[in-house]
Chain A
Amino acid sequence: MKIARGRRIGQSFGMLLGLFGATGIGMTHLIFPGLHCYACPWAITICPIGLAQNLIVFGTVPYYWIAMIVLYGLAAGRGFCGWFCPFGTLNDLLSFRKVKIRDTVSYSKFFVLIGTLLAAWVFTDTVFCKLCPASSLEASIPYLFMGIARVNRPFLIHMGTLAATLVGMVLIARFWCRYLCPMGALLSLFNRVSFLRLKLDEKRCSRCAACTSDCPMGIEPHTQHDNHNCIKCGRCVDGCHLNALSMDFSLKDSP
């Protein structure tokens, strides 16, 4: 249960960072290592996907953005989805049905990512933000209570995408993270190089697949421990009775 506790602290810390603006601190220069809306009234960090779209609209070569993404990717890859991202935490809370992932379908998040960037270029607008369920929850709803947003068509579209995503999350654990999250797609590119990784000791593994039933992403850790969908949450490590799986933060080459 050690990892579970650490992860809860990590997720609480992610949420705390996401809402730290409530202390009166304004927007900083930091890019959030997850999907957290910068229009959230209490955000002090910039949404990487929102920023990428804006940079495309303004025709900027995004050096700073790339550097930040590489930094996060290299450090933990999708580990941020499992340990830090507030929207990932919401996915976690609704993770009731840990069904097996459809590997080919999981590439859909790359289409979302490419579509997001292309739409920003074609329409010179932040199209993804108009649909993003994270901003529905973190920006639209707070602003409705503040009297700035009103129930109109764009607002209802936001609520629609949020409701659809919530239903998806209830039916399939980590639905958003598995199939739709563009930030997850970005970080997953780094999953095989990141310093934080899931290690498998094949000599100890009995292929009992106990880890599979624990995995919120629906992958099989005992056969795909470096899968691009792995969010490194460590549930499989806690669930493995033979201690064949372990979490590791090292600079060594992978075997």
Chain B
Amino acid sequence: MAHRSAVVRNLRRTMVVIASSFSVLLSIGAFAQSPILQISLKPGELSIPRGSSASTSLQVANTSIHEADEIEIVLLSESLTMVPVAVIEVLDPFETTSIDVWLTVPDESPEGEREALFEIVYTYCIGDLCFQILEELSLTLNVHPPSETTVEPIVPPIVGPVKPAAPPQWPAIVPIMLGILLVGALVLARWVGRRWWIVLMLLAVMGGGFGLGLRFGQDQQAQSIGAVLCTSCVGIEEAPRREPSLSASAREALERIAEPIELLFFTATWCQACPYAKAMVDQAVEIQPGISVRVVDVDEDKDTARLHGIVQSERTIVPAIYRADTDRVLFGIEDLETRLIELLEESP
């Protein structure tokens, strides 16, 4: 009995420690997901004579396991002009790229220091939800009077992304040697127990591992892998490639709807799950012609998207289905049939 009460006491104490650490942390609680691209301008400061052009390089690094799509740079400052920059269609996980940005300062521009403001727009998808991210970036411009010796730089008409040279490959013998050393040390340890030379072998593997790992930026890569939501861990379903088909009960529910309903369907060209959601809405309209759908491309009509809560803190989330009279919105395609019917059956 004494033993059992000790176990219970132990258990209780452990529970108290866990519960208190949980509650302290949860009360402080904040949850933020990192943006997936690291964007910077190099140099971050430009000196341009009035009426002339200069370039800076936009450095983009995808630090996530997700592919970033349609990366676009837009100049927000109206008093400057920028040579059109090609859209970076796809940036694969852990890839980096750079692109030259040419700016022209007009003749009548005032002299002195000023800011040039850019907006970077890109999209990515996690599971069945796709996000569009807007980030602002600024560049310090130092406008000075034109000197007579200034040579006008040749401005290329369209600038495309430049892929940096691949990092140097280490000879395969290095990882093989490290592997042999590690396995050897562990096998010997199992056999003879701990000896100083086995510890030394392991320390060599550790040193080599840290040296090479840090040299190749693998700590940064590891951080990037950790920073992005692991959909496998959470259990988020990926976007389906098949056509949806409404069930018999959903069809019956749709036929029962008497009032006309107005829906807004928010979509985007970069959204992978939107075709599935759109096909399901189309099927619903086919069965119940009282439902009218207006399709809104969030890239073309950002104001409407913002008005209906599709853009939240500069993040656009699609697919989204909005019902006007109840002011309700559905995101994603998970269990869409049930949620869509619920949305449609709700009385205003």
B194 touches A63 (CB 8 A): no
Residues of chain B within 8 A (CB-CB) of A105 are none
Q: Specify the chain A residue showing the minimal Cβ separation from B13.
A: A8
From A46, A65, A73, A130, contact of B235 by CB (8 A)? A130
Q: Specify the chain A residue showing the minimal Cβ separation from B227.
A: A27
Residues of chain A within 8 A (CB-CB) of B236 are 148-149, 154
B216 touches A93 (CB 8 A): no
Residues of chain A within 8 A (CB-CB) of B206 are 66-67, 70-71, 74
Q: Specify the chain B residue showing the minimal Cβ separation from A147.
A: B331
Residues of chain B within 8 A (CB-CB) of A19 are 21-22, 25
Q: A117-160, CB under 8 A of B: which get 1 and which 0?
A: 00000000111011010011001100100101111111111100
A93 touches B234 (CB 8 A): no
A89 touches B18 (CB 8 A): yes
Residues of chain A within 8 A (CB-CB) of B15 are 93
Count of chain B residues near A, Cβ 8 A: 67
Interchain residue pairs A-B with the least CB separation, the first 5: A64-B213, A67-B209, A39-B233, A154-B235, A63-B213
A-facing residues in B196-216 (Cβ within 8 Å): 196, 198-199, 202-203, 205-214, 216
B43 an interface residue at 8 Å Cβ cutoff? no
Q: Specify the chain B residue showing the minimal Cβ separation from A157.
A: B235
Interface size class of A (residues with CB under 8 A): 35 or more
From A26, A37, A46, A68, contact of B225 by CB (8 A)? A46
B193 an interface residue at 8 Å Cβ cutoff? yes
Per the bound structure, the CA–CA distance linking A43 and B10 in Å amounts to: 27
A108 an interface residue at 8 Å Cβ cutoff? no
B193 touches A192 (CB 8 A): yes
B334 touches A50 (CB 8 A): no
Q: Specify the chain B residue showing the minimal Cβ separation from A251.
A: B199
Question: Which one of A4, A22, A251 has the highest number of Cβ atoms from chain B below 10 Å of its Cβ?
Answer: A22
B-facing residues in A47-90 (Cβ within 8 Å): 47, 50-51, 54, 58, 60-68, 70-71, 73-74, 89
Please judge, given known A-B contacts A22-B26, A149-B236, whether A254 and B222 are in contact too, CB under 8 Å: no
A20 an interface residue at 8 Å Cβ cutoff? yes
From A27, A54, A61, A146, contact of B65 by CB (8 A)? A54
A229 an interface residue at 8 Å Cβ cutoff? no
A31 an interface residue at 8 Å Cβ cutoff? yes
B177 to chain A, nearest CB (A): 12
From B31, B205, B226, B237, contact of A38 by CB (8 A)? B226
